[in-house]
Structure 1
Amino acid sequence: MAEKKPDRDAGVLVIGLGRFGSAIAATLDRLGQDVLAVEQDPNLVAQWSGRLPLVEADASNPEALEQLGGRDFGVAVVGVGSSLEASVLITGNLVDMGTPQIWAKAISAEHGRILTRIGAHHVVFPEADAGKRVAHLVSGKLLDYIEVEDGFTIVKMRPPKEAQGFTLGQSNIRKRYGVTVIGVKSPGADFVYATPETRISANDLLICSGHAELLERFAARP
């Protein structure tokens, strides 16, 4: 074990510095969050040394987690996905420690079910989620796509021709299509929250919310 121990009451412990874990740790660190990364692979440790608060340790060993101060963190992210055994052991160790929030990466539905059953509070499927998001983007007119939960989705899109030149009140998008225009971004202007008086032009970007199927239908309008 090397480099740095946490001396904090609440922060984020990121275990595993693959693409998923390193992106989370680096982003949290850049945002000024209290973060400590844990990695067993000496090559990855060398790669990230000096760039992140980091310890080299095997987090599947509960004693190692205790020694690096794992109990001091309010949130833990298990970024280990390639080894099902290691992922489950690490998550189980965090559950036994009583970590208030555990986010764990899963690479399959079965993996996710196991993590949920042993006590992970949030299970994420980065590859599947990214693939689903890209599929929505390449198949239609959506410029960005974020599924929040149970089909509720937020998208960025160009306005259909029938909405261009009209206010939201005049086009009555919500009643006709079941989606809500949250905000509008005009070229060279700041983002504004939408009101019934907001007028839409052809070059605007719309931020819309609603059920994924309804948004897809709305975005498919000419």
Structure 2
Amino acid sequence: MANFLHNLSRSRTGIDIPPVMVIGLGRFGISLARELTANGVEVLGVDVDAKLVREQSQFLTDAVIADGTDPQALDQLGVSEMECVVLAIGTHLEASILTASNLVEAGVKDIWAKADSEAHGRILTQLGVPHVIHPERDTGRRVAHLLGGRFREFAEIAPDYSVTSLAPPPFLTSSPVRLAEAWRTKGVQIIAVRSTDGSFTPLVDGTLLAPTDTIIAGGSPTALEAFTR
């Protein structure tokens, strides 16, 4: 399997990144791996569970049975040649930590590792993992802002800056939009608008929005929530 990298096509259509190894084919790992594959990224899936590997192999470039806690197994997979590895093991803390340590020691520069708790995340960071993911926490934050029904989508870009899509609040449909005023008075950037024909266009000063439009807006979660009211 060390020849995995050498057998890959470099033509991509969606996400233009080098091949990715995903270790752990649970719900998070396979969701990420399938999305990468669907966007033209070559993906090698790795798991100790033969059933998971067999089930998911049809969706990935390649999938193998291997134990990430075994440095020799990773070496046989050519892990030191990988530019990016996603460690999607979360619930098995010891396996996650040992595998992370092996990846760091192998010299993988771009490691993204799933953490199931703050303590787990701290340990991964201390081991030298540059990117620690908290999917349950991050998804929970997103869903919390969707519960009220005012946002159609919600994504946290930074700790105090998010982007959302929503119908224009009534005060935006009563007169032409003034972008600077919205930022000054509401702390919200109105970025784009989707009309009923489904096309997105950048929003410019003087646009008259309709209640049926969808706008893309950015700002702090607090500002965005207040914006909708």
Over residues 103-142 of structure 1, what are the superposed CA-to-partner deviations in whole Å (9 max), with x where a residue is unaligned?
Answer: 0001111111111110111111111111111111003511
Change in CA separation of 1:166 and 1:189 when aligned onto 2, cut-off 3 Å: farther
CA RMSD of aligned residues (A): 1.8
Selected match of 1:182 from 173, 191, 196: 191
Question: Are the counterparts in 2 of residues 163 and 171 from structure 1 also a CA contact under 8 Å?
Answer: no
The TM-score, its normalising length taken from structure 1, stands at 0.93
Question: Are the counterparts in 1 of residues 179 and 189 from structure 2 also a CA contact under 8 Å?
Answer: no
Residue of structure 2 equivalent to 1:151: 160
Question: Are the counterparts in 1 of residues 2 and 76 from structure 2 also a CA contact under 8 Å?
Answer: no
Matches within 5 A, 1:1-222: 5-8=3-6, 10-52=18-60, 53-169=62-178, 172-219=181-228, 221=229
Question: Are the counterparts in 1 of residues 21 and 46 from structure 2 also a CA contact under 8 Å?
Answer: yes
Please list every run of 5 or more consecutive structure 1 residues that lacks an aligned counterpart in the other structure.
Answer: none
SS at match of 1:156: strand
Question: Which shifted more, 103-112 or 26-35?
Answer: 26-35
The TM-score, its normalising length taken from structure 2, stands at 0.90
- Which amino acid is 1:25 matched to? A
SS at match of 1:184: strand
CA distance in 1, matches of 2:179, 2:57: 57
- Which amino acid is 2:4 matched to? P
- Which amino acid is 1:18 matched to? G
- Which amino acid is 1:41 matched to? D
- Which amino acid is 1:178 matched to? G
* Shift in Å, 1:188: 1.1
Q: Which runs of 4+ in 1 moved over 2 A?
A: 7-10
CA distance in 2, matches of 1:17, 1:119: 23
Question: Are the counterparts in 1 of residues 176 and 207 from structure 2 also a CA contact under 8 Å?
Answer: yes
CA distance in 2, matches of 1:214, 1:51: 41
- Which amino acid is 1:112 matched to? G
* Shift in Å, 1:170: 8.0
CA distance in 2, matches of 1:110, 1:184: 41
CA distance in 1, matches of 2:99, 2:141: 28
* Shift in Å, 1:189: 4.1
Would you say how many aligned residue pairs link Structure 1 and Structure 2? 218
CA distance in 2, matches of 1:126, 1:165: 40
Question: Are the counterparts in 2 of residues 5 and 55 from structure 1 also a CA contact under 8 Å?
Answer: no
* Shift in Å, 1:40: 0.6
SS at match of 2:69: coil
Please list every run of 5 or more consecutive structure 2 residues that lacks an aligned counterpart in the other structure.
Answer: 9-17
Question: Are the counterparts in 1 of residues 37 and 59 from structure 2 also a CA contact under 8 Å?
Answer: no
